[in-house]
């Protein structure tokens, strides 16, 4: 019988059949940053600098590597910021 292993982060792997191992791996994971925390930077790059949503996503990939981002996510955060401004 082949047992699967799940790899978390860069250094740990666990036996997926052991719920406690999976729980401990989840606890050890570094928290992810939420892109909405960077709304001001997104608005600045978009409005003041003229970056496209793809360019903003690339900029984040180069300058803020602990944030997972693509152009769709940037668009959603930017759009939400506009709706907050209108209210």
Kindly report, residue by residue over 14-58, the tens digit of the pLDDT. 677 788 888 888 888 877 678 999 999 999 999 999 999 999 999
pTM for the whole structure: 0.63
Q: Which helix (H) or strand (E) holds 7?
A: strand 6-8
Predicted pLDDT of residue 30:
75
CA–centroid distance for 85 within its chain: 24
Domain range list for the chain:
1-30, 35-86
């Amino acid at each position: 019988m082949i047992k699967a292993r799940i790899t978390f982060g860069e250094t740990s792997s666990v036996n997926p059949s052991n719920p406690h191992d999976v729980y401990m791996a989840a606890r050890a994971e570094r928290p992810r940053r939420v892109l909405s925390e960077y709304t001001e930077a997104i608005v600045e790059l978009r409005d003041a600098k003229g970056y496209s949503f793809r360019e903003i996503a690339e900029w984040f990939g180069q300058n803020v590597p602990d944030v997972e981002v693509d152009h769709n996510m940037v668009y959603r955060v930017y759009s939400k910021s506009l709706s907050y401004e209108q209210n």
